[in-house]
Amino acid sequence: MLSLSKIQTIALFTMRDILKSKILLNVFLIGLALMLLTYIAAEFTYGVPERVALDIGLGMLTISSLGIALFMGATLISKEIDSRTVYMIISRPVSRSSFILGKVVGLLAVLVINILLLSTMTLIATSLLGGKIDELVWWAIGFILIESLLLLLVVLFFSLISNTILSIIMSLVLLFLGHAIQDTQSLSFVQERPLLGTLLKIYHLFLPGFYKLNLKDYILYDQSLPFSYLSGSLIYGMAYSFFLIFIIITIFEKKNLD
């Protein structure tokens, strides 16, 4: 039985615990490195320093968000079982689904804070260098959040059926494949081999296509994207996330917590 108040409580205290760890310091250091890199790159770039600043900023924002999602997501539940905290919580009137959703929402809130801080720094640096922030940048920042959520759910799913290291490795493999799948399908090597093409199509059908959420190349080359593509990617990311949440809850409900 899902309880919004329980999810909210668990999310709040999960977020508090993570934020009190060294993670905010890391975000702050990444922010400083981002400003420094932007300054150096701008000095060495002729003509388009603001574009370089934006590219570096969005790149670091992606790496830090995916890093938090991957490494904190892998231990989000296993750490609770190892430290037996999960026993204290689900022995209360709290369902397993509320517990796991609370943990996910708590970590998602940390991701939101990370993205807010770093994107603010990126946008300030870009503006100071005379760059304009068009609509696609806002979409890109939103998509980084969705991509991080998707990776968090993928690693959480793997952590429930394997161990921490395996879940990180498998999630990284899926992340790289998910970014490369579209380009790989268009390779002549693949097109000349129908069986390989069919396998990739099946992969594309079921496993997450992270490339749909990557808008950084379009921003760098100043290309525009139709609203239908953006909204389609948004719906894809959200639907895949809900699908994974459903799978994760189903597994966790049946899992022996020993």
Contact 44, 125 (CB under 8 A): no
Residue 94 Cβ vs other proteins, minimum distance, rounded to whole Å? 5
The dihedral over CA atoms of 122, 126, 127, 129, expressed in degrees to the nearest 10, equals 140
Does residue 71 touch other proteins according to CB under 8 A? no
**Quick one: 95 or 127, whose CB is closer to other proteins?**
95
**Quick one: 85 or 163, whose CB is closer to other proteins?**
85
Does residue 198 touch other proteins according to CB under 8 A? no
**Quick one: 43 or 258, whose CB is closer to other proteins?**
258
Tell me the torsion sign for CA atoms 6, 8, 10, 13.
negative
Residue 17 Cβ vs other proteins, minimum distance, rounded to whole Å? 4
Burial class from Cβ neighbours inside 10 Å (0-12, 13-18, 19+) for residue 104 reads buried
Residue 114 Cβ vs other proteins, minimum distance, rounded to whole Å? 17
Residue 238 Cβ vs other proteins, minimum distance, rounded to whole Å? 29
Q: Quick one: which of 2, 4, 17, 161 contacts other proteins (CB under 8 A)?
A: 17
Does residue 4 touch other proteins according to CB under 8 A? no
Exposed e or buried b per residue across 124-155, where buried means at least 16 C-beta atoms within 10 angstroms of its C-beta = ebbeebebeeeebbebbbbbbbbbbbbbbbbb
Q: Quick one: which of 91, 186, 188, 228 contacts other proteins (CB under 8 A)?
A: 91
Residue 244 Cβ vs other proteins, minimum distance, rounded to whole Å? 24
Contact 111, 149 (CB under 8 A): yes
Q: Quick one: which of 87, 176, 243, 246 contacts other proteins (CB under 8 A)?
A: 87
Burial class from Cβ neighbours inside 10 Å (0-12, 13-18, 19+) for residue 13 reads middle
